[in-house]
Amino acid sequence: DTEVTQTPKHLVMGMTNKKSLKCEQHMGHRAMYWYKQKAKKPPELMFVYSYEKLSINESVPSRFSPECPNSSLLNLHLHALQPEDSALYLCASSQPIIRGYGYTFGSGTRLTVV
């Protein structure tokens, strides 16, 4: 299994809603990431988990709350989002080795905040 699976593929939520994005991989990768991508822009890093511990938080607003329940799962909890948070949310995983290693990205969740 060489995939990163993200659910749901599409999500529409109101500004008062609470929702969660899910990401799963079974490649044995011990690093997992959340990226945000706006239209016609490159992906921007939000969070990095290494061995199920949060290692990087790129000053993301607290309305985004990541969680890594185990080495295969990564969640992103959403609460009180703003319309400008509408974007493609990408999950990725990689092996945490010394040399650079290509991430495997999921297909993303297209989030629309209304």
Q: Residue 56 interacts with other proteins (CB under 8 A)?
A: yes
Distance, in Å, from the CA atom of 34 to the CA atom of 90, rounded to the nearest integer, reads 6
**Phi then psi dihedrals of residue 61, to 5 deg:** -55, 150
CB closer to other proteins, 9 vs 18: 9
Cβ-contact 39, 51 below 8 angstroms: no
Cβ-contact 46, 64 below 8 angstroms: yes
Please tell me what DSSP assigns to residue 108: -
Applying CB under 8 A, among 13, 27, 45, 73 the residue interacting with other proteins is: 45
Applying CB under 8 A, among 8, 14, 61, 96 the residue interacting with other proteins is: 96
Applying CB under 8 A, among 21, 34, 78, 108 the residue interacting with other proteins is: 108
Residue that is written with structure tokens 């992103």 in the block: 76
Applying CB under 8 A, among 62, 70, 84, 99 the residue interacting with other proteins is: 99
Could you tell me the two tokens for 90? 């990408």
Contact positions vs other proteins (CB under 8 A): 4, 6, 31, 33, 41-45, 48, 50, 55-56, 88, 90, 92, 94, 96, 99-108, 110
